[in-house]
Amino acid sequence: MNIILFGPPGAGKGTQAKELITKFGIPQISTGDILREAIANKTKLGLEAKKYMDAGNLVPDEVVVGLVEERLKNKDCENGYILDGFPRTVVQAEALDKIANIDKVIALDVPASEIVERITGRRTSRKTGKIYHIKYNPPVSENEEDLIQRDDDTEVAVIKRLENYEKQTLPVLEYYKEKNKTTIVNGSRKPEEITKELIEILGK
């Protein structure tokens, strides 16, 4: 089962993907995570990508398509995968069509008014990679989790990311709607309610 988890920045793609990979036993492929790993490892690609990411802009299509193409060749993708944060442009969606068969696109619908608070309050555990929110989902012990904030989770960058989402990424939703592969899910509910619905949809 090859799935795309689609939605604006902060929609809860990462939060939900973590639940689904446990349930369905397939990997999460997050282009954001792959790029952040390249930044942490100070690779040439990472240093180049960081400039785009910190400003809230998309990394060039050819770079991201190449990364995904390589990642999908891994053995752990044989039984399916969850794409999180890819494709984000119609050019990326067209490139994906050449290398994969997508079964379902799930779009998390969250209004822009909720996004800024979600993103500026996000913290990630350096130890486990678990995603928290200082208000909606705080960890039991902040010190134990060693929480970090992403460099692109500033209010200025979030506004730019939202602008870019509307201009460059929303057309991807139309692309998949035309292929009748899309289900839109209300992402403005408790995370566990959303997970339950996603499992129902994907279990069918």
Choice among 18, 36, 71, 88 that is catalytic: 88
Closest CA to 11 of 106, 139, 89, 102: 106
Instruction: Examine the residue annotation and report whether 123 is marked as an active-site residue of this protein.
Output: no
Closest distance between ligand AP5 and the C-beta of residue 25, in Å?
20
Choice among 104, 130, 150, 160 that is catalytic: 150
Closest CA to 169 of 113, 121, 114, 107: 107
Closest distance between ligand AP5 and the C-beta of residue 86, in Å?
4
d(C-alpha 121, C-alpha 99), whole Å:
36
Closest CA to 181 of 173, 189, 169: 173
Tokens coding 58: 């998309």
* DSSP code, position 72: H
Choice among 50, 71, 118, 161 that is catalytic: 161
Residue closer to ligand AP5, measured from CB, 125 or 137: 137
Residue closer to ligand AP5, measured from CB, 45 or 131: 131
Instruction: Examine the residue annotation and report whether 150 is marked as an active-site residue of this protein.
Output: yes
Residue 32's CB: how many other CB atoms inside 10 A? Answer: 20
Residue closer to ligand AP5, measured from CB, 150 or 181: 150
Instruction: Examine the residue annotation and report whether 122 is marked as an active-site residue of this protein.
Output: yes
Choice among 18, 36, 118, 122 that is catalytic: 122
Instruction: Examine the residue annotation and report whether 88 is marked as an active-site residue of this protein.
Output: yes
d(C-alpha 2, C-alpha 23), whole Å:
14
Closest distance between ligand AP5 and the C-beta of residue 7, in Å?
6
* Binding residues for ligand AP5 (CB under 6 A): 7, 9-15, 30-32, 35, 52-53, 56-59, 64, 85-86, 88, 92, 118-119, 121-122, 131-133, 136-137, 152, 161, 191, 194
d(C-alpha 78, C-alpha 98), whole Å:
17
Taking CB atoms, the residue at the shortest distance from ligand AP5 is 32
Residue 93's CB: how many other CB atoms inside 10 A? Answer: 21
Which residues carry out catalysis?
Answer: 13, 88, 122, 150, 161
